Homo-oligomer: A and B are copies of this chain.
């Protein structure tokens, strides 16, 4: 990203192809909309970074990326910028990493309002500050009208996993307790309602939030936590299936234990959706050994993002990779991975 000083002030209300051309207009857009807010270090083509945690013996770098194409780009509880920062932060912290730096790259449709970009960037800055990360490098591209949909954001994140921490799906063992930090499906339900296709007037906010402070609190109280996954696309069902598959264990969850907002439960009943597959953007599943599960839940409940933390199931010795649910009526059913799409462009 070129972060040279602006020559003129940005007067345009909408983005044009010239803003992606590599010349003055691009420089003005980048400076005024992006770097004035993110305040990245230096003005070279690459951020140059040091942090003492990286050089500690046994530390590992964590590196992740996600593109965000959510529609609508602004929705109750967040926008594409908030989700881009929280999503990438969460992909780092579920591995036990301390997030340090983010990159942010924008693909902008010609005609996109500059004011919308400013709101997205402001959201990103707020969430980055909350998570203690710095947005240090970025890029903008502009494509013609109809070649993208308003704006797509890709964030990558670099963090550091301290020595001795080893959260991994294959560490999960029979007897472990599966814990979620809060109600399920709010993000998926909020997006569905926001699209307006369904004529639903539910007042549901996305759960979009960073989970770094929650995980650090849980790990402090329960250092034996085995693994964590944020339950984004594909919902809690997909996260559980990934863990069961990687660990070669069976997982049984309890339908009566699933925390669901009445509005989300109602929307799922009306539309025939299964809340286990609804996307979340600030909800994770973690696995704690049985003797540390209560401590983990108590520590999570003491954080903003974990007030509704609850155990939803346990790891058993059944068929490797199988996830089942004890239903409200006392039966048992298989919770498979999502087949087909539930909601396109959910994140």
Contact = CB atoms under 8 A, between A and B. Distances in A.
A64 B43 contact: no
Q: Is the interface of A mostly helix, strand, loop or mixed?
A: mixed
Interface in A233-265: 233-235, 238, 242, 245-246
Nearest to A232: B22
Contacts of A156: 65, 103, 105, 154, 156
Interface residues of A, number: 93
B21 A230 contact: no
A337 to B, nearest CB: 5
Contacts of A233: 20-22, 26
Contacts of A75: none
Given A22-B338, A44-B168, A54-B61, A67 B139 contact: yes
Q: Which residue among A92, A154, A158 has the maximum number of chain B CB atoms within 10 Å of its CB?
A: A154
Contact of A43 (B61, B106, B246): B246
B43 A169 contact: yes
15 contacts: A2-B242, A18-B339, A20-B344, A21-B343, A23-B234, A44-B95, A46-B92, A47-B63, A50-B59, A63-B103, A67-B141, A69-B107, A69-B141, A69-B147, A141-B347
Contacts of A55: 54-55
A69 to B, nearest CB: 5
Interface string A100-143: 01011111000000000000000000000000000011111111
Contacts of A4: 242, 245-246
| Closest 10 A/B residue pairs (Cβ) | A22-B233, A23-B338, A22-B234, A21-B341, A156-B156, A65-B103, A154-B154, A46-B64, A147-B149, A67-B105
Nearest to A336: B24
A340 B45 contact: no
A50 B61 CA distance: 6
A221 interface: no
Contacts of A342: 21-23
A146 interface: yes
B158 A238 contact: no
A143 B344 contact: yes
